[in-house]
């Protein structure tokens, strides 16, 4: 349940309501918007009298939340959350661009990718150091050495690092090198890992599971948030369907559904959805137009020799060209939106 406070509710009135909830042993999550303050209740509220709360000074209404996820729901934060990663706000006015190779392969490779991604105007360098591969015989990543190379390339170019973590035991080391942890599609329901990244407080890029519903995905986000880490960005990366022309099917409707149901920012990964370079541009432009907050795209200095996902990685020049088109659509949409508000 959430308690919506009146627009003119005083600090004292907000505190009084929180105190009553705490006295009932309930968890309290305060969300202060520009207009409205919302108090979310977590825990067993069976002993709480809704009508007594509704009659307290400053309270406008008590609204039940029907979903299993609460903190991740739109009701808890109607104006939407922004996730700050080293001074850059994902979900804010500026469109988020992440780019880099599927896997970190060598210092030269990641440096070259980083300079290209920076030239395109991206804010984040991606690259897998730990690669959870379908086959145990495929390249598994450079591991901690990969993190170090990512950090070096990001520092040389002024980018932020986003990279996948696959186990709770590695988070302390990963936090030394990464600005944002990626939870991959295969680990979306690894609940111990979700809780551990929740405790770490490090911003999280939570990919949608290969065959997960939007509700299961938001429940996964709730695991992270219930540990006190609200810095989550969702990433739609395609789901498994009967279609074989593409590697996965990009569920573009997930952008609209998530925007309606959740307060969390959402970005799109067209690379793992398409699986083919030729389709990346079209899916990227569609994602921006659908209202995504950003894109994460695989970029390799020489995709033909990439040790993983060779068919879907863009060359530096095609990423730079694509970024220009993406920004053109994004700024057109922003100016339409601001005209509509006038």
Stretch that binds ligand PEP, among 56-64, 184-192, 249-257, 319-327 (CB under 6 A): 184-192
Provide, rounded to whole angstroms, the least separation between the CB of residue 139 and Mn ion. Answer: 11
Stretch that binds ligand PEP, among 42-50, 180-188, 284-292, 324-332 (CB under 6 A): 180-188
Count of residues near ligand PEP by CB under 6 A? 9
Angle 316-341/277-290 helices, nearest 10 degrees? 10
| Residues 48 to 107 in contact with ligand PEP, rule: CB under 6 A | 102
Which residue is it, tokens 């307290």?
A: 56
* Helix boundaries (H) for the chain: 11-23, 50-54, 107-119, 144-157, 171-177, 191-200, 214-225, 253-261, 270-274, 277-290, 316-341
Partner that binds at residue 184, options Mn ion, ligand PEP, none, CB closer than 5 to 8 Å by kind: ligand PEP
- Contact with ligand PEP (CB under 6 A): which of 58, 100, 184, 316? 184
Which CB, 22 or 276, lies closer to Mn ion? 276
DSSP letter for each residue of 69-132: --TTBTTT-TT---EEETTEEETSSSPEEEEE-SB---HHHHHHHHHHHHHTT-SEEE-BSS--
Which CB, 58 or 99, lies closer to Mn ion? 99
Which residue is it, tokens 């920004």?
A: 327
Closest residue to ligand PEP using C-beta atoms: 184
CA dist., res. 280 & res. 297, Å (int): 8
- Contact with ligand PEP (CB under 6 A): which of 118, 237, 247, 330? 237
**Which sign does the torsion angle of CA 252, 256, 257, 263 carry?**
positive
- Contact with ligand PEP (CB under 6 A): which of 81, 151, 160, 207? 207
Provide, rounded to whole angstroms, the least separation between the CB of residue 77 and ligand PEP. Answer: 26
300 binds ligand PEP (CB under 6 A): no
User: Could you tell me which residues come within 8 angstroms of residue 327 by beta carbon, excluding any fewer than 6 positions away?
Assistant: 95, 121
Stretch that binds ligand PEP, among 71-79, 114-122, 183-191, 320-328 (CB under 6 A): 183-191
Closest residue to Mn ion using C-beta atoms: 102
Instruction: Record the tokens describing residue 127, joined without a space.
Output: 């690259």
Residues of this chain that bind ligand PEP (CB under 6 A): 102, 128, 184-186, 207, 237, 269, 272
């Amino acid at each position: 349940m959430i308690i919506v406070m009146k627009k003119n509710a005083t600090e004292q009135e907000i505190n009084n309501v929180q105190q009553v909830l705490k006295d009932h042993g309930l968890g309290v999550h305060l969300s202060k918007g520009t207009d409205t303050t919302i108090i979310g209740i977590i825990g067993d509220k069976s002993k709480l009298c809704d009508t007594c709360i509704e009659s307290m000074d400053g309270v406008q209404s008590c609204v039940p939340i029907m979903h299993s996820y609460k903190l991740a729901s739109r009701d808890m934060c109607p104006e939407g959350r922004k996730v700050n990663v080293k001074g850059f706000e994902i979900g804010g006015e500026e469109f988020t661009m992440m780019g880099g190779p599927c896997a970190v392969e060598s210092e030269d490779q990641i440096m070259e990718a980083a300079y290209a991604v920076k030239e395109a105007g991206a804010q984040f360098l991606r690259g897998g150091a730990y690669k959870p591969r379908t086959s145990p015989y495929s390249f598994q990543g450079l591991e901690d050495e990969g993190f170090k190379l990512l950090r070096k390339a990001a520092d040389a170019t002024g980018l932020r690092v986003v990279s996948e973590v696959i186990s709770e035991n590695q988070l302390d080391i990963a936090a030394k090198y990464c600005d944002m942890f990626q939870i991959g599609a295969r680990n979306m329901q690894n609940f111990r890992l979700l809780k551990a990244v929740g405790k770490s407080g490090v911003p999280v890029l939570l990919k949608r599971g290969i065959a997960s519903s939007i509700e299961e995905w938001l429940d996964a986000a709730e695991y992270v948030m219930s540990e006190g880490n609200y810095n989550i960005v969702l990433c739609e990366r395609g789901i498994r369907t009967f279609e074989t022309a593409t590697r996965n099917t990009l569920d573009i409707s997930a952008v609209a559904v998530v925007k309606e149901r959740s307060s969390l920012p959402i970005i799109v990964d067209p690379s793992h959805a398409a699986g083919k370079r030729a389709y990346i541009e079209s899916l990227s432009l569609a994602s921006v137009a659908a209202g995504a907050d950003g894109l994460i795209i695989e970029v390799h200095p020489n995709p033909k020799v990439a040790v993983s996902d060779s068919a879907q990685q863009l060359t530096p020049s095609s990423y730079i060209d694509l970024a220009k088109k993406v920004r053109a659509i994004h700024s057109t949409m922003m100016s339409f939106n601001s005209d509509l508000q006038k």
